[in-house]
Every structure is written in C-alpha cells, then in structure tokens.
Structure 1
C-alpha cells in the first residue's frame, strides 16, 4: 500500500511539473538547448501594453532523462541550482526573427526569483516604451545541481518571431 501511494504521489508530482511547464509556455517561448536543458523567455505581464511597468521573465528546466520532457525538473536558485543571466532587450523593425534591430536597450542584470504560473523563475523590470516588435538577447549560465553546467546565448522575438517549432510557444508583442 505504501509503495503504490508513493508511486501515485510521484506521478502526481510529475504531472504537476509538466502542467506548470505547459501553462508557463502559453506566454513564454520555450527553447530546447543541449544537455537536456529547456529555457523559457517572455514578458512578465501579458498582454504587453507599452508604457506600463512590465519585465522579462526567465525560467529553466532540466530533463533528467535527456529527450524526455516528462522527466523535466525546474531549476530553482533557492534550492542550489545556478542561473546567471544578462538580457538585452531590443526593438525590431517588424515581428520577424530576422528583422533588423532598430533599438538596443540597457542590459537587464538585476533578476529576482519569482513564481511563474506555479514554477520557480526569475524576473527583471522592463517597460516597453512604445508599441511594436520586441525581443530579448539572453546570455546565461545554467546548472541543475548534480548535472553539467551549460553556457548559452539565444535570441527571442515576440509573436510571429518565435523559433519554437516543437510546441509553437511565443510571447506577446507590445500594444
């Protein structure tokens, strides 16, 4: 009886983690990196209204079985995992990944831990000054305790600029 209860709780915990990952992905673009790492980037408040306080959200997960998203566990800096970020917000000419960058904003480096749809993540304040297509160029180091560290740099663009070909996730452009 104890064994089956533990199995049920384990399955419920896995289902909750997957549910959190899929819920978070509704307003954040997922990106699958190497070594089983998955990151999500987007805006803290959606829909994005220019001139209103907002921010850049970031979260990461690690597949304990590489290639099996069902084995994903969120990184949590309060639990000893490592997430170090520098994010450069940019404005693009249009809502397209390859669109020219028309404005580069100061780098975001002051991230605080937050809850993103029930999952641990980080956020940094940023206000979109006008309507249009925005993106983030993210440089980072992430490490799930007990697994190898990963250094990365990735570009994310709102709306139709999303590069998620697996789940079709994206985040809103500024209105």
Structure 2
C-alpha cells in the first residue's frame, strides 16, 4: 500500500491547528504536539514505509531540510508564478545543477526526455487541494515554519534508533539502508 501525501498533510495541518489553538486545557503546545505525532503514527503505522526508497521518501517529506542533495533551485517568486498558473519532485530537483550528480544521472537514465520544472510542477499543483499545495510549497522550500515537527520524537517513533543512526550517518538514504539491516524493535 502506498503512502498518500494527503495523510502527511493531515499531520501538518493538525500540528498547525495545535500551534494556533488558544486553549486553557493545553497550555503546553509542545506536549500536545507530541500527543498528536504519536497518535498519528499509531493510526497510520501499517502504511508508513519503513524500508527502501519508500522510507527515504517518507522521511524526506517530513524533514525536507535534511536533504542537502535535493536542491530545487526554486525561490518564492518563481514558485509563486508556477502555482498561479497551476493552482515527481525528484525529477524537478534533478533539473538543478546544484542537486547531487547521482540524482541527476538517475533521473536522466529513468526518463528519456528532459523536462521543464515548470511543466512538472504545473501537473502536480493541478492535482492538489489547497491545503496540500500549501504543504507542498513549504516542502519544496524546505521550511514548514511556523509549524515545528518534533524531530527527535518523530524519528524515534519511525524507528527507535533513527536519531542515533543519523548522529553518525547524516543521510536519510544511508540511515534507511543501515536500519534495513537491523532487527526491528
């Protein structure tokens, strides 16, 4: 079963709503964010990819700022014009000369003809609901702010050793490869 982007958007929306909530019952936003994260992981545990490219993609969506090898070469102004017209992100990243050579070579081998970033993003944004588009933009810009994802908790919930593995192997792809060879919790 594939992991749907809208499910991730549900988590981000809930964290965003929690941030803006002014409730006397939950004065500690951080602890209520932790409850949201744990509950979300429990609800979707069976469909969260834990190995291979699916796990890397999942973690990359949660922590886009950790993907130094993915440079989209898109700033707010350029992205804004594409979204206005629109209302395969690896393929978009591969169009930037600042992305890793390995990624660019993999995309060149996979797709016969080169693409224009503009065309790919148009197709993507045409299919997204507005709240999903909001998170897609923030993911591309590698900044979910003002939403704060409790990084350590999410990583430990994903795989209990992930924070430790990333401590000596600061690459999501390498960490997933290492964890795939480890016994489950």
Measured against the shorter chain, the TM-score band is under 0.3
Q: Judging by fraction of residues, say which structure has more strand.
A: 1
Structure 2-normalised TM-score?
Answer: 0.25
Q: Judging by fraction of residues, say which structure has more helix.
A: 2
